[in-house]
Chains A and B, each alone.
Chain A
Amino acid sequence: MRKAFVPLLALAGLIFMTAPILIMRARYESTMGLVQKIFYFHMPPAMLMLLSAIFCGLISMLYLIKKRPVYDWIAFAAAELTVLYGAMAMVTGPLWARKAWGVWWVWDARLTMSLLLWMVFVSYLLLRRYGGPGSETLAAGLALFGMATSPFVYLSVNIWRTLHPLTSVVPTLPVDFAFALWYAFLGFLLLYIALMTMRVRIEEQRALVDQLYLESEE
């Protein structure tokens, strides 16, 4: 996995460089014009944020059961990436929404769930930073609970909102939109994997240094 970092980064970089061409070539969406193009930079991070959160929750559960340090490193990296990608989505999202719906934000099920999930993982990072020793296990519990609460958030906002239906809806995309979108998604995905690899490697090296310290005292 270590050796994959540079090729992954290079590949991701390549995709990001060529993506604008595809995005330019994709048809202009009828009502929104150029601003709609932000969607290509919004949807992949948003989707990856959700996937990353689920991934972190599952790895945390594994860590609680098996207690192997590598699971903790991966969970930490996944949490950081969740916050990062979430931030990307939440900056690009309102920019798109303002044009599409006329408002910066709506309290619909998906957005609320994403926001809450993002907040759970921000609190995960705060816990790891300020919680003192032993916070790995606590954070794993938090990630698990955060993952478990997301369906409930989605469900409760959904039930609430069926009383006040929203006119906003994710448009179904015609083919040439879709290709550019999945291309951008691939780019973000590769970037995610590259960053994750690097981050886990940092933790692994840190553990190695600790181990060396311990052994030097023998």
Chain B
Amino acid sequence: MSLDFLELSIRELSRNFGRRRALSRVSLDCRAGETVGLLGPNGAGKSTLLAIVSTLATPSSGDVRYGGKTAGEIGAALRGRIGVLSHDLHLYSELTAKENLIFFGRLYGVANPEAVAATALERARLGDRGGDLVSGFSRGMRQRLALERALLHAPRLLLLDEPFTGLDDASTRALVERLRELRTAGCITLVATHDLDVAEVVLDRAVILQDGKLVASEPDVRGLRTRYQARLRTGAAS
């Protein structure tokens, strides 16, 4: 891989839509091998932040640096190092699971897309459903498939928006295990979630967003739930 980076640096990022403030001077630094949580209630700006980091949206002010350079400086190749699991899943329901994976594999220039797709199907525990249309899958199955889709090209930066929604216990454990593997492999992972119990297990650290502002930084995730609720209460009161 000719293009790679080991730090992600978000500086004073702001985004507003007219009068509505989606993000307000958010700063965050992440290094390779870290799994960082973005916590906060709905409308806190988590999705907007992920959209900007994934280069789909531009900030009103502030910047995001990947290994010291902005997206504009690096160019389109940057996207080959970023994997996104959005809550809309990015899957074609009219294609089979295997076809979806092969399509995205080709698009990302993965060598030998069929083989990689087969492996990914196994990891998603959908090996026997590869030839079925995605329209017939349950939410949990789609979620697992979508995660593998995001990881096909072995990205350096992984952005997950509510990945635990709709997953049963087994799938949740599998996802947690997967995230741990990725951490060991040196991936930078940003997870937006409001599932605090899982968060405690899978995150290295977390930041809490409320109304677009970063209200707390939690370097230690133990006992997160109580501190999270307390923070939100004080945040709401101030």
Are B211 and A217 touching (Cβ within 8 A)? yes
**Interface digits, A192-218 against B, CB 8 Å rule (1 contact, 0 not)?**
000000000000000001100110011
Q: Which of B107-152 contact A (CB under 8 A)?
A: none
Alpha-carbon separation in the docked complex, A214 to B14 (Å): 11
Are A213 and B19 touching (Cβ within 8 A)? yes
Report the interface size for chain B: residues with CB under 8 A from the other chain. Answer: 8
Whether A174 is near chain B, meaning CB under 8 Å from some CB there, is: no
Whether B86 is near chain A, meaning CB under 8 Å from some CB there, is: no
Are A210 and B24 touching (Cβ within 8 A)? no
User: CB-CB < 8 A to A33: which residues of B?
Assistant: none
Are A214 and B16 touching (Cβ within 8 A)? yes
Q: Which of B2-26 contact A (CB under 8 A)?
A: 16-19, 21, 24
- A residues adjacent to B (C-beta < 8 A): 67, 133, 209-210, 213-214, 217-218
Are A217 and B18 touching (Cβ within 8 A)? no
**Which one of A67, A133, A218 lies within 8 Å of B24 (CB-CB)?**
A218
User: CB-CB < 8 A to B18: which residues of A?
Assistant: 133, 210
* B85 → A minimal CB distance (Å): 24
Are A214 and B17 touching (Cβ within 8 A)? no
* A208 → B minimal CB distance (Å): 11
User: Could you list 9 further interchain pairs (A-B, Cβ under 8 angstroms) beyond the known A214-B16, A217-B24?
Assistant: A133-B17, A209-B19, A210-B16, A210-B19, A213-B19, A214-B21, A214-B24, A217-B211, A218-B24
Chain B residue, CB-CB nearest to A218: B24
User: CB-CB < 8 A to A133: which residues of B?
Assistant: 17-18
A-B contact pairs, 13 of them (CB 8 A): A67-B58, A133-B17, A133-B18, A210-B16, A210-B18, A213-B19, A214-B16, A214-B19, A214-B21, A214-B24, A217-B21, A217-B211, A218-B24
User: CB-CB < 8 A to B17: which residues of A?
Assistant: 133
Alpha-carbon separation in the docked complex, A133 to B22 (Å): 13
